[in-house]
Amino acid sequence: MEVIFILIAISLVLAGSFLFLFFRAVKGGQFDDNHTPAIRILFENKTVTKDKKVPSTKSK
């Protein structure tokens, strides 16, 4: 029974350390994406809408 308490304590310490390292990486800019916004214009995104009406640019 004591082994369960030791394993729970170790898992909490391990989870806390991973959480600390994750927040440290986010704060340090590890997950900032500087490459994708520069090449995003090269790819054409086709959006699907429910109604297939295309708004007219002509004025009445």
Ordered by start, the domain boundaries in the chain are 1-28
Which residues of the chain are under the pLDDT cut of 50? none
45 neighbors 39 (Cβ within 8 angstroms): no
Please tell me the predicted confidence (pLDDT) of residue 58: 65
Pairwise CA distance, residues 30 & 19, whole Å: 14
Q: How far apart are CA 9 and CA 12, in angstroms?
A: 5
Q: Are 13 and 19 in contact (CB under 8 A)?
A: no
